[in-house]
Amino acid sequence: MVPSENSSVPFSASAAVRAEAARAVARVMAGRTLDDALAACSTGALTTQNRSLLQAMVYGVVREHTLLSALAAKLLDKPLEKQPDVQALLLCGLHQLRSMRMPAHAAVAETVNAVALLGAHWGRGMVNAVLRRYQRERRELEDALPTDPVVRQSHPAWLVDAIRRDWPRVWKKVLLENNEQAPLTLRVNRRRRPATAYLQQALGGAGLRGHVVADAPDAIALDEAVPVNELPGFADGQVSVQDASAQFAVELLQLTPGLRVLDACAAPGGKTAHILERVDCEVTALDVDPLRLKRVEDNLARLQLKAIVKQGDARDPKAWWDEKPFDRILVDAPCSGTGVIRRHPDIKFLRRREDIPRMAHTQRDMLHALWPLLAPGGVLVYAVCSVFSAEGVDVVSRFLQDEPGARERPIDADWGEALAHGRRLAPGGDFDGFFYARLEKRT
């Protein structure tokens, strides 16, 4: 039992889960990332199962936030703008009734109990009445919602417009896929064993099921997500978590032993590690953030791999470069993250229209700054987990116009679709949204 902060009456852990979920949702809508919002939750007294429930609830409410808010507006006599935690708790209750597999009576009762844990005893009757009315009038209330995708798919209007412009044939599918839960995808360390062997032997032996991802030979998508510490061989470096789309980078670099490689935006280290799992070469892992570089070092240590780890800004090579050219450069540039919304639904509400041109400017600056570091005949791979042309094909097109010594080496692949320059993937199924281009320096 978890004691109330405002009463001597004990409350169940189930009520505590809902109260913490409400606080986390309110933090996200106030501008914090979902990861930060969850990290701030008090979970010490919760079981592993209840922590999983908390995370699932918060992710679900953030995914459907606009739609849930529209339903709440129809059910409330007046808005709860000055009570963001209570508003968020009400959305948690609606989400449980709409989308989560749990008995309706438990969802309602424990959500009502959570009101007191938020210090809002006055709201118990209101929350109870709203949730029970939704149960009675669910069909009529859902049918009365606007058909606008801003509401139905819970995307801000500017984001809907931008996706419709850049994906005119499949924009509705992109919006729908953004609200689906992405699979847990693994990268198998082929220095230890092939992906097929890990799938059959390690996962099969642990009672876990999945499949090797088409076109990504080291990738396995699990049928059901599990905590990483339950993955066979994770602790000793047999496997890592990395989306299949991100694993295409190592193929595009066309690595051979002995090359000197720069991973220019390396944290948290997935692509650096994948390079070293494939080929014996000298890799410099660069990142501007020292805290994120610690994650690179931790991942390399777990995988028993070695790289040169440097802190530095990719836009200012003179501060960290040793003036020896690189044979390969990977620029997995900072971007809007709009290709990974299904993994980070808070991006829908934290990103702004004006962020996109600012990020495109940074991406172009990185390319121009790093290009002189590439050896003649060398290859640079540009990647962003964005669905926007402004951060993908447009950046590369302008760079090719500005750099006469650069030429595109086309990507001949079965995945995604070819653009005027580069290749892109829409989010969905086994893949996050991504853009890649491969450039070569003329000799």
Q: What is the CATH number of the domain that holds 33?
A: 1.10.940.10
d(CA 187, CA 308): 22
385 is catalytic: yes
Does 161 map to a domain? no
* Residues constituting the chain: 443
Query: In three state form, how does the secondary structure of the chain look?
Result: CEECCCCCCEECHHHHHHHHHHHHHHHHHCCCCHHHHHHCCCCCCCCHHHHHHHHHHHHHHHHCHHHHHHHHHHHCCCCCCCCHHHHHHHHHHHHHHHHCCCCHHHHHHHHHHHHHHCCCHHHHHHHHHHHHHHHHHHHHHHHCCCCCHHHHCCCCHHHHHHHHHHCCCCHHHHHHHHCCCCCCEEEECCCCCCHHHHHHHHHHHCCCCEEECCCCCCEEEECCCCCHHHCCCCCCCCEEECCCHHHHHHHHCCCCCCCEEEECCCCCCHHHHHHHHHCCCEEEEEECCHHHHHHHHHHHHHHCCCCEEEECCCCCHHHCCCCCCEEEEEEECCCCCHHHCCCCCCHHHHCCCCHHHHHHHHHHHHHHHHHHHEEEEEEEEEEECCCCHHHCHHHHHHHHHHCCCEEECCCCCCCCEECCCCEEECCECCECCEEEEEEEECC
In this prediction, residue 79 carries a pLDDT of: 87
d(CA 255, CA 283): 11
Does 32 map to a domain? yes
Q: Give how far Cα 173 sits from Cα of 68, 160, 205, 386, 425, Å.
A: 21, 12, 36, 16, 13
d(CA 212, CA 249): 17
Q: What is the CATH number of the domain that holds 202?
A: 3.30.70.1170
Tokens coding 323: 């003036």
Q: Is 414 exposed, middle or buried (0-12, 13-18, 19+ CB in 10 A)?
A: exposed
Q: What are phi and psi of 62, to 5 degrees?
A: -65, -40
Residues 321 and 296 in one domain: yes
Q: Give how far Cα 172 sits from Cα of 60, 98, 149, 169, 430, Å.
A: 20, 22, 8, 8, 18
Residues 6 and 105 in one domain: yes
Contact 339, 434 (CB under 8 A): yes
Residues 300 and 430 in one domain: yes
Q: What is the total count of domains within the chain?
A: 3
Residues 253 and 235 in one domain: no
Does 280 map to a domain? yes
Residues 291 and 368 in one domain: yes
Does 276 map to a domain? yes
Residues 379 and 275 in one domain: yes
| Catalytic choice (41, 92, 335, 385) | 385
Residues 295 and 223 in one domain: no
What's the domain range around 317?
249-441
Q: What is the CATH number of the domain that holds 393?
A: 3.40.50.150
Contact 160, 330 (CB under 8 A): no
Residues 265 and 396 in one domain: yes
Residue that is last in its domain, among 241, 260, 277: 241
Tokens coding 186: 């693994």
Question: Going by DSSP bridges, is the β-strand pair 282-287/260-263 parallel, antiparallel, or unpaired?
Answer: parallel
In this prediction, residue 1 carries a pLDDT of: 35
> Which segments of the chain have a pLDDT < 70?
1-11
Residues 231 and 292 in one domain: no
Residues 304 and 432 in one domain: yes
d(CA 309, CA 284): 6
Contact 42, 20 (CB under 8 A): yes
Task: Please name which of 290, 258, 255, 269 lies closest in space to residue 381, comparing C-alpha atoms.
Answer: 255
- pLDDT tens-place string over residues 31-84: 999 999 999 999 988 998 999 999 999 999 999 999 999 999 999 998 898 899
Does 348 map to a domain? yes
Does 275 map to a domain? yes
Does 169 map to a domain? no
Q: Is 330 exposed, middle or buried (0-12, 13-18, 19+ CB in 10 A)?
A: buried
In this prediction, residue 188 carries a pLDDT of: 98
In this prediction, residue 3 carries a pLDDT of: 40
Contact 233, 192 (CB under 8 A): yes
Residue type, 17: V
Q: Give how far Cα 285 sits from Cα of 12, 118, 248, 310, Å.
A: 47, 45, 18, 6
In this prediction, residue 11 carries a pLDDT of: 65
Residues 322 and 430 in one domain: yes
Residues 60 and 127 in one domain: yes
In this prediction, residue 241 carries a pLDDT of: 98
Q: What are phi and psi of 287, to 5 degrees?
A: -155, 150
Does 152 map to a domain? no
In this prediction, residue 256 carries a pLDDT of: 98
Task: Please name which of 332, 314, 364 lies closest in space to residue 432, comparing C-alpha atoms.
Answer: 332
Residue that is last in its domain, among 145, 177, 201: 145
Contact 270, 264 (CB under 8 A): no
In this prediction, residue 8 carries a pLDDT of: 38
